[in-house]
Chain A
C-alpha cells in the first residue's frame, strides 16, 4: 500500500515548507543541546557509560524469558497482578475488563507512549470512560485531539500563545504568556481529576527483575499522584523494559535524564513494588501490570536488529536527527517517530507499509552517535531497506539498479555510458527546471553539476599512458 508512504511525502513537504516552524523546533533543540552536553560532561566517562548501558541491555534482551519471569514472580508475591498481553487488543481488553469489574467511572493517566501504541484512550472513551492525561504536555495535545508530537516532549511544537489560546477556548481561562500561569491553569483542573479518578494508568520506564519493581521517572509529580491516589493502578509496559538489577538504575536514571532532557536527574524518580500492603496507610488497593508484546518478540527473533529493543525512549535520536527537526513528529504517522520509529515501526506494523521511513534518511548516523544505549540505528535503516527491496522491490528501482550494476560491472559499458552522458547533458539543459526535466526534484532547489568535458579515466589515459 502506498498510502502511508504518500502521506509521509505530503506531510513532510508541508512541514518543511514552513520555515518558521522549522526555526521554532531548531531553537527549542539548541537549548537542549547545551544542557545535554553539560550533563554528559558530568559523567566520568560518557562513552564508557554507553558501553555499559548497551551491555546491560544486551543481557536483559537476550534473557527476557528469565528476567520477565523473575519480575513477575517478585511483584506478584506482593499482590500485583501481571497480565501478559500478546497484542494491543489483548492489552486493551484486559484494562477495560478491570475497569468494568471495578465499576470505574473516571480514569487519570500519566505519560505512556505504550498506551498510544495500543490506542488505549480511544478504546476507553468508546466504552464511556472519561480519561484525562495528567502530564501537562500530554494534556495539551489531548485537548487538541492530537497525538504526542515527540516521545518526550509531546507539545513541543506549540508556542505559549497557542497553548494559552487553547486553554482559553477549552477551559475558559484568561489569556497569559507565562509558563507558570499556564501550568497553574492545568494543575487546578488536574487536582480535581486526581480526587475523582478511581483508576490511574501509567507507563513504566524500567522494570527491575531482581526486586520486582517498576521505576517511573517524571518532572511534574503527576505520575506519583496518578499511581497512588486512585484505588486501582494499571502500569503498562513493553516487555523490553526489564532490567536485571536494582543497581542498574544508578546508571540508567541519570543517563535517561541526560540524553532525554539534558537534566542531571529527572525531578521525581519513584519505584513501585505492588499495591498497598497490609498496615500501609495509602496507595492503591489494586495494582495491575500489563506486559505488552505486540510483535516485540518478532523483533527479538531478528538477530541483526534485536538491539533496538534496548531503547529507553529517551528521544535523543529524535532531537539530533536533521530529518526529524525538519519534518517534525507528525509527518511520520507513527507512535514512535524519528530514527528509532523508522527502525522499529516496520517490525511492529509491517515492512511493506512502513519501509519508506527507512528510505527517508540520509544515513548520516547522528542518531547512532547520540543513542545512550548504542543502538545501531542508521545501519538498521540500511537493513530495512535491504529487507524491503528483497520482499517488495520497487519495480522502477529494481530495473534501474539492475541496469546500473550491469553498466558498472563492465568497464567497457561504463566508458560507453560516460560518453553518452556527455552527449545527452546538453539536452537536459534545454528542459532544465521545467516539468519535462527528469532531474527536476534536484534542479528545483539546487544547480545541477555539469559533466566534465572529459572524465578522469579519459584524461589519465591520454596524459599518463602516453608517457609510458
Chain B
C-alpha cells in the first residue's frame, strides 16, 4: 500500500525520530511511505482556541497536501482527531466541506491503522523493559482507540506492560491550556506522573507525543529515571 505520512508540526520540529519510526515500521511491513512536503500544521491550536477562520487556513494546506493520497497515517491521536473528527465540523457548510470529509475518511492514527486497517498486531519488535501506557484523551475518546496499542505492545518481545491506575486520566496538556492555566495543567501532570511512578515501570509509552511532552517535561524536571517513548519508537526497535 502507498501510505502518505502525516507528521504533526511539533513532531516535525521536536521529535523527528517518532516520524522516522513510523516510516521504518510501515516499510518493514512492505508498504511504500510518501511524505507530502507541503504539509505544515493541522490547525488544532487555533481551532481549540476558538479561532476557526485561522484554523481553516491551516487545515486547507493539510487538505491540499493529502488530496491525492490513498491513506493518510499520523503518529498522534490528537492531530488525527483534528482531521478525522473536527475537520467535518470546522468546514460544515463551507465550500470545502466535501474535501474535509474525504480526508477525514482516509486519515488514521498509527496504531489504529496497523491493527484495524492492516490487521497487524505483531510488527516483530523487541524491547527490553517494563512499560506503562498512557492513553491520550483524543485518541481514546474521540477515536475510540484503547485496545490497539495494547495489542501491539503485547507482541513486543521482552516488553512487560504494567497498567497504571490513572491510564485514562488526562495528563493535563490540552494545547494552549498548558500555558494559559499552567497551575491546573501542572497539577494534572503531577497526578499522572505519580500514577506512572507507582507502577515501577522504567518507560512510559503513549501514542501521542504531545502528552509525552507534558509528562516528560515533569519527569525530567524532577530528575526521574523513567523514560518516555512514543509507541512507534517501541515498535521500530529491534
A contact set with B: CB distance below 8 Å: 9, 12-13, 16-17, 22, 26, 322-323, 326-327, 359-366, 368-369, 382, 385-390, 393, 397-398, 401-402, 404-411, 414, 418, 421, 439, 441-442, 444-452, 454-457, 459-461, 464
Per-residue CB contact flags for chain B residues 168-198 toward chain A (1 = under 8 Å, else 0) read 1110111101111111111111010000000
Chain B interface residue count, CB cutoff 8 Å, equals 65
Q: List 22 A-B contacts (CB under 8 A).
A: A16-B184, A322-B191, A359-B177, A360-B184, A362-B185, A363-B177, A366-B141, A366-B168, A401-B46, A401-B54, A405-B54, A405-B57, A408-B58, A411-B38, A421-B13, A446-B189, A447-B218, A447-B221, A451-B14, A456-B7, A457-B7, A460-B37
- Chain B min CB distance to A462 (Å): 11
Q: Name the A residues within 8 Å of B7 (CB-CB).
A: 456-457
Q: A386 near B50 (CB under 8 angstroms)?
A: yes
Q: Name the B residues within 8 Å of A450 (CB-CB).
A: 14
At the interface with chain A, which of B106-114, B209-217, B229-237?
B209-217
- Chain B min CB distance to A39 (Å): 19
Q: Once the chains are docked, how many angstroms separate the CA of A12 from the CA of B20?
A: 41
Secondary structure of the B contact surface, majority rule: helix
Q: A445 near B189 (CB under 8 angstroms)?
A: yes
Q: Once the chains are docked, how many angstroms separate the CA of A418 from the CA of B37?
A: 14
Which of B16, B142, B180 contacts A454, CB < 8 Å?
B16
Which of B54, B55, B175, B214 contacts A446, CB < 8 Å?
B214
Q: Which of A389, A390, A421, A461 has the most CB of B within 10 A?
A: A389
Q: Once the chains are docked, how many angstroms separate the CA of A439 from the CA of B180?
A: 11
Which of A401, A439, A461, A464 contacts B45, CB < 8 Å?
A401
Q: A444 near B182 (CB under 8 angstroms)?
A: yes
Q: Name the B residues within 8 Å of A405 (CB-CB).
A: 43, 46, 51, 53-55, 57-58
Q: B217 near A442 (CB under 8 angstroms)?
A: yes
Q: B170 near A366 (CB under 8 angstroms)?
A: yes
Task: Let me know if B83 is at the binding interface, CB within 8 A.
Answer: no
Q: A397 near B49 (CB under 8 angstroms)?
A: yes
Task: Let me know if B97 is at the binding interface, CB within 8 A.
Answer: no
B contact set with A: CB distance below 8 Å: 7, 9, 11-17, 19-20, 35, 37-41, 43, 45-55, 57-58, 60-61, 137-138, 141-142, 168-170, 172-175, 177-189, 191, 213-214, 216-218, 220-221
Q: Once the chains are docked, how many angstroms separate the CA of A397 from the CA of B168?
A: 31
Q: A385 near B181 (CB under 8 angstroms)?
A: no
Which of B57, B141, B187, B220 contacts A409, CB < 8 Å?
B57
Q: Which of A360, A441, A446 has the most CB of B within 10 A?
A: A446
Q: Once the chains are docked, how many angstroms separate the CA of A405 from the CA of B58?
A: 6
Q: Once the chains are docked, how many angstroms separate the CA of A398 from the CA of B112?
A: 35
Q: Name the B residues within 8 Å of A409 (CB-CB).
A: 40, 57-58, 60-61
Q: A442 near B182 (CB under 8 angstroms)?
A: yes
Which of B37, B49, B170, B172 contacts A389, CB < 8 Å?
B49
Closest residue of chain B to A13 (Cβ to Cβ) is B183
**Given the known A-B contacts A326-B184, A362-B172, A408-B40, are A452 and B13 also in contact in the complex, defined by CB atoms under 8 Å?**
yes
Q: Name the B residues within 8 Å of A449 (CB-CB).
A: 14-15, 213, 216-217
Q: Name the B residues within 8 Å of A456 (CB-CB).
A: 7, 11-12, 16, 19-20, 35
**Given the known A-B contacts A366-B170, A397-B51, are A414 and B16 also in contact in the complex, defined by CB atoms under 8 Å?**
no
- Chain A min CB distance to B54 (Å): 4
Q: Once the chains are docked, how many angstroms separate the CA of A456 from the CA of B16?
A: 5
Q: B41 near A408 (CB under 8 angstroms)?
A: yes
- Beyond A401-B46, A446-B214, list 7 extra A-B contacts (CB 8 Å): A405-B57, A408-B41, A442-B178, A447-B220, A456-B19, A456-B35, A457-B7
